[in-house]
Structure 1
Amino acid sequence: MSESFTAKDVAAHNTVEKGLYIIIDGDVYKLDQFVDEHPGGPKILKRVGGKDATKQFWKYHNEGVLKKYGPKLKVGTVQADAKL
């Protein structure tokens, strides 16, 4: 089951020790177990931990990468901020 996160929730998971979450297109991915497998190295993932990495992701990856790894790494979605 997918969870719903706020941007603040994701920001709290900004290191490997805290779970290393990133946002891509509104979905939240947990990368702490993937950093050592990442072909580009762990450094880039650690740099975007806790943030929306959509722009950086699509700059270097195609849709096939998300289809391949997304199902096992996705932990939820970011809920829209309430508008007042």
Structure 2
Amino acid sequence: MTPRHTGVSESRRDRAMAARLATLEERLEAAERQQRLLRTTVAGLAREVGRSLGCQCSRCDESYTLVGDGCMYCPRCGFRESL
């Protein structure tokens, strides 16, 4: 004999799953908002020092590059490339 699930336990499990999903969605939205705020702030700081925010570093993939004075520079790994 195989055990049968009752509608009550499945319903409770569904509600618990829906609550966890809602919590994860809230956390994801908060993280995405935080990321937008940080990117805007970093771009503003770059402008303040006469640079602009470039693409993701092709060498380390751990930072965006800063662009200015005819080159791209990665503040994380130090990679520099002329434009």
The answer to whether the superposition gives a TM-score over 0.5 is: no
Between structures 1 and 2, the one with greater helix share: 2
Compute the TM-score of the two structures, normalised by the length of structure 1.
Answer: 0.25
Structure showing greater relative contact order (alpha-carbon pairs closer than 8 Å, 6 or more residues apart): 1
